[in-house]
Amino acid sequence: MRIFVTGASGSLGQELVPKLIEFGHEVYAPAHTDFDITEPLHIGRFAAGEFGKFDVMFNLAGFTNVDLAEEQREEAVGLNTIAPGWLAAACAERQTSFVHLSTDFVFDGSSQIPYTEISSKNPINFYGQTKSDGEDEVLAINPQAIIIRTSWLYGKFKNSFVKAIIDRISKNQTIRAVDDQTGTPTSAYELANVLAQITNSLPPPGVYHAAGNEIVNRYQQAQMIAEIYKKLILTRSLPEIQSVTSQKFATKAKRPSFSALDSSKMNALYSPMGTLKSALERAISELIKQ
Whole-model pTM? 0.96
Q: Please report whether residue 160 resides in a domain.
A: no
How many domains, in total, are found in the chain? Answer: 1
Q: Is the pLDDT of residue 290 over 90?
A: no
Please give the average per-residue pLDDT across 96-125, as a whole number.
Answer: 98
pLDDT of residue 235: 73
Q: How far is CA 169 from the centre of its chain?
A: 25
Domain range enclosing 191: 2-151+185-214+259-274
CA-to-CA separations, 90 to 81, 82, 95, 206, 271, in angstroms, rounded:
15, 13, 9, 18, 30
Rounded CA gap, 60 and 57, in Å? 9
Over the chain, what is the mean pLDDT?
Answer: 96
Rounded CA gap, 216 and 183, in Å? 6
Q: Please report whether residue 194 resides in a domain.
A: yes
Q: Please report whether residue 14 resides in a domain.
A: yes
pLDDT tens per residue across span 80-93:
999 999 999 999 99
Q: Please report whether residue 207 resides in a domain.
A: yes
Q: Please report whether residue 180 resides in a domain.
A: no
Rounded CA gap, 155 and 282, in Å? 8
pLDDT of residue 13: 96
What is the CATH number for 15? Answer: 3.40.50.720
Inter-helix orientation angle 11-22/188-200, to 10°: 40
Q: Is the pLDDT of residue 158 over 90?
A: no
